[in-house]
Structure 1
Amino acid sequence: MHVADPQRHARLPTRRAGRSGLALGVATLGLWQNFGAARPFAEQRELVLRAIDLGITHLDLANNYGPPAGAAEESVGRLLARDLAPYRDELVIATKAGYRAWPGPYGEHGSRKYLLASLDRSLARLGLDHVDVFYSHRYDPKTPLEETLGALTTALDSGRARYVGVSSYSAVRTAQAAELAQSMGLELTLHQPSYSMLNRWVEHPDAAADGRSLLDVAADVGLGVVAFSPLAQGMLTGRYLDGVPPDSRAARGGPLRPEYLSADNLAHVRGLAEVAAGRGQSLAQLAIAWVLRDPRVTSVVLGPRTTAQLEDSLRAISGPPITPDELAAIERHAVDAGVNLWGPRSSEL
């Protein structure tokens, strides 16, 4: 049984999630890529427990995280039963449904049947009677938005979730969802988009949303923003400036595609690394601090592979504010690099 560090809650600032009463630490532990069945459970345990000792209370999951799908939730379920049972009410456990989690026509997308079945499966894997946050993981143009939001309403009303939200919805789809939710008496609390110095789609004006960006819409309707992939799948760690390391995500066939590592993109990464060095920071620390510079961002999701990477990333929280001159230097290199994996499957629909 793990005994958590008694000073943990003093280590991480919190921000309020939109207009809700939910306060989240500015850093969240994401369990997307490093909690599959191929990784020893002891390593997963070490990383999660270290994150909690460092003040992280928010664990971000989805039904398809692993691989295989469900493996990450099973690992967290083991930890909740063994090490974290005394701390359950100190934690925010979030999960999502939208991408493929099992075979057949009801194993993905946004239908009521899929979303609620997925939530029940997630709860069984986690060994919980409720999660704190349940997200629609992506917009589904083939399912009426009323049906998707109705499933989120049922998740709340049945007590299987405490808060609900959406992930990777565009500005206009988020505005539509918020308006419809209000008419249904549903309170959406969070939006989880990808956001980094190389993936700035959340800042772009959307003509269909009256020229507002996703960040604008989230602020207008009172949604907290939990930004994921702040390191652009590892591009903003500097690991790829001299080639692809054999133990990297790119070498393992992960979401970091070889075409992302173009000469142009790497030149911008080098420019950003120079700004970070001038601040006495790692590139990863600068990337995290940059996302958190916007007060509309509630929390940033970190996906470290090791405790050393986690500790390096968290040092961004206590770093100096980014100055106007540094922001100007960053702006020259913080360009969209075509790394939004989720655009064609959600935010561009």
Structure 2
Amino acid sequence: MERARVGSSGLEVSRLALGTMTWSRDTNADEAGQQLDAFLDAGGSLLDTAASYADGGSESLIGAMLGGTVSRRDVQVCTKAGIKRTARGGVIDASRDTLLGTLDESLERLGTDYVDLWLVHAYDAVTPLEETLHALEIAVNSGRARYVGVSNFPAWAMSRIATMATGRPAIAATQVEYSLLQRGIEREVVPAAEALGMGILGWSPLGRGVLTGKYRDAIPADSRAASEHLSGFVAPYMGQRAGAVVSALETAAEGLGWSPLETALAWVLGRPGLASAIVGARTAAQLTPALAAADLDLPPAIGDALDEVSAPVLGYPERR
């Protein structure tokens, strides 16, 4: 598997990252271990997790693996902080105290003294960006994080914190949802990231599983859409517009002799500025086709056709 530079930083990551949101909850230790083995065998390196995934269970499971047969030198760990669990549910909190406290807890669960990439999980409209940036600066200067970035930030806030970081550790990456079914970042996030030298990590490149085509006729009993805690995650992409994109994707895939999954991944991996696409699976068998797609090149004519059918709505001021 090829590697790519994350923006203008010195960080290089595998073109596919292994997402671990379901680890320790829907994916047990045995299945997670098989996924990681297959991922590393394919040349992958970047593991994506977060302190909030399974309330820390994902990080703990990764830590158990790193303390066992997997060498820390063979993997790059990206984790996120800034979503705090309360009696009312998840609350966004990017204060310095919460971020650094969460990072220390993450490092303990992961069984390591540093992470390769540490991200603020979501934009906090209450905490001043200067305070959030100070936490990122402390993390780098203390050696607890090699690189830092943001996740799910609107373009203006991403640009603001990146420009505020002049003379301090740079904001190297932005992690955002990106697929044929979610191209909203192309309006402002992508051009802003390019101008600021930030790399893009795309989560859910398969449209929350919908772009695999498995929901065309029914909802499989073992799928995310049938899951009590993930059905709401998939629901936004089960409508008529998504159906038209999936239909076009299936036609393109058939002409190429590929699967819809391979075609959707090849499309997103060819997008400007994208350093890595984060793929997650419940089982190793589900992960294998994605790993095989990492080296596929989508013919330009097919890419143009998929661009047209999935184009995001643009208006003022992006387009006049």
Letter in 1 for 2:180: M
Q: How does 1:298-317 map to 2 (within 5 A)?
A: 298-317=275-294
1:101 to partner: Cα distance: 3.7
Letter in 1 for 2:11: L
1:39 to partner: Cα distance: 3.5
Q: How does 1:39-50 map to 2 (within 5 A)?
A: 39-50=27-38
Q: 1:200 aligns with which of 164, 183, 202?
A: 183
1:257 to partner: Cα distance: 4.0
User: Relative to 1, partners in 2 of residues 1:38 and 1:25: Cα closer, same or farther, differing over 3 Å?
Assistant: closer
For the residues of structure 2 that align with 1:199 and 1:107, how far apart are their CA atoms?
Answer: 24
Q: Would the aligned equivalents of 1:31 and 1:303 in 2 still touch at CA under 8 Å?
A: yes
Q: Would the aligned equivalents of 2:2 and 2:15 in 1 still touch at CA under 8 Å?
A: yes
1:134 to partner: Cα distance: 0.7
For the residues of structure 1 that align with 2:238 and 2:20, how far apart are their CA atoms?
Answer: 24
Local SS of the residue matching 1:299? strand
Structure 1 match to 2:239: 262
Structure 1 match to 2:7: 18
Q: 1:174 aligns with which of 126, 140, 158?
A: 158
The runs of 5 or more residues in structure 1 that have no matched partner are 1-11, 205-212, 338-349
User: Relative to 1, partners in 2 of residues 1:245 and 1:320: Cα closer, same or farther, differing over 3 Å?
Assistant: same
Q: Would the aligned equivalents of 1:272 and 1:333 in 2 still touch at CA under 8 Å?
A: no
The number of aligned residues is: 311
For the residues of structure 1 that align with 2:139 and 2:235, how far apart are their CA atoms?
Answer: 39
1:103 to partner: Cα distance: 5.2
Letter in 2 for 1:199: Q
Q: 2:50 aligns with which of 40, 55, 62?
A: 62
Letter in 1 for 2:287: L
**What TM-score, normalized by structure 1, do the two folds share?**
0.84
Q: How does 1:189-228 map to 2 (within 5 A)?
A: 189-204=172-187, 213-228=188-203
Letter in 2 for 1:172: W
Q: 1:30 aligns with which of 19, 28, 31?
A: 19
Local SS of the residue matching 2:225? coil
User: Relative to 1, partners in 2 of residues 1:259 and 1:321: Cα closer, same or farther, differing over 3 Å?
Assistant: closer
1:44 to partner: Cα distance: 1.3
User: Relative to 1, partners in 2 of residues 1:106 and 1:257: Cα closer, same or farther, differing over 3 Å?
Assistant: closer
Letter in 2 for 1:327: G
Q: How does 1:326-341 map to 2 (within 5 A)?
A: 326-335=302-311
1:60 to partner: Cα distance: 0.5
Percent same amino acid at aligned positions?
Answer: 36
Local SS of the residue matching 1:256? helix
Q: Would the aligned equivalents of 1:102 and 1:108 in 2 still touch at CA under 8 Å?
A: no
For the residues of structure 2 that align with 1:107 and 1:329, how far apart are their CA atoms?
Answer: 40
Q: Would the aligned equivalents of 1:97 and 1:108 in 2 still touch at CA under 8 Å?
A: no
For the residues of structure 2 that align with 1:38 and 1:306, how far apart are their CA atoms?
Answer: 9
The runs of 5 or more residues in structure 2 that have no matched partner are 314-320
Local SS of the residue matching 1:70? helix
1:37 to partner: Cα distance: 3.5
For the residues of structure 1 that align with 2:148 and 2:51, how far apart are their CA atoms?
Answer: 15
Structure 2 match to 1:341: none
Deviations for 1:49-89, whole angstroms, at most 9, x for unmatched residues? 221111111000100112xx1010010010000111xx212
Letter in 1 for 2:250: A
Letter in 2 for 1:181: A
**What TM-score, normalized by structure 2, do the two folds share?**
0.92
1:258 to partner: Cα distance: 3.5
Q: Would the aligned equivalents of 1:132 and 1:162 in 2 still touch at CA under 8 Å?
A: yes
Structure 2 match to 1:83: 69
Q: Would the aligned equivalents of 2:83 and 2:90 in 1 still touch at CA under 8 Å?
A: no
Local SS of the residue matching 1:305? coil
State which drifts further: 328-337 or 52-61: 328-337
User: Relative to 1, partners in 2 of residues 1:65 and 1:106: Cα closer, same or farther, differing over 3 Å?
Assistant: closer
Deviations for 1:319-341, whole angstroms, at most 9, x for unmatched residues? 23322x2123213432459xxxx
Q: How does 1:247-326 map to 2 (within 5 A)?
A: 247-253=222-228, 254=230, 255-323=232-300, 325-326=301-302
User: Relative to 1, partners in 2 of residues 1:125 and 1:197: Cα closer, same or farther, differing over 3 Å?
Assistant: same
For the residues of structure 1 that align with 2:62 and 2:25, how far apart are their CA atoms?
Answer: 12
Structure 1 match to 2:317: none
Local SS of the residue matching 1:302? strand
Letter in 2 for 1:79: M
Higher strand share: 2
1:221 to partner: Cα distance: 1.1
Deviations for 1:275-328, whole angstroms, at most 9, x for unmatched residues? 1111111111111111111241111111122223222112222223322x2123
Local SS of the residue matching 1:193? strand
Structure 2 match to 1:121: 105
Letter in 2 for 1:99: I
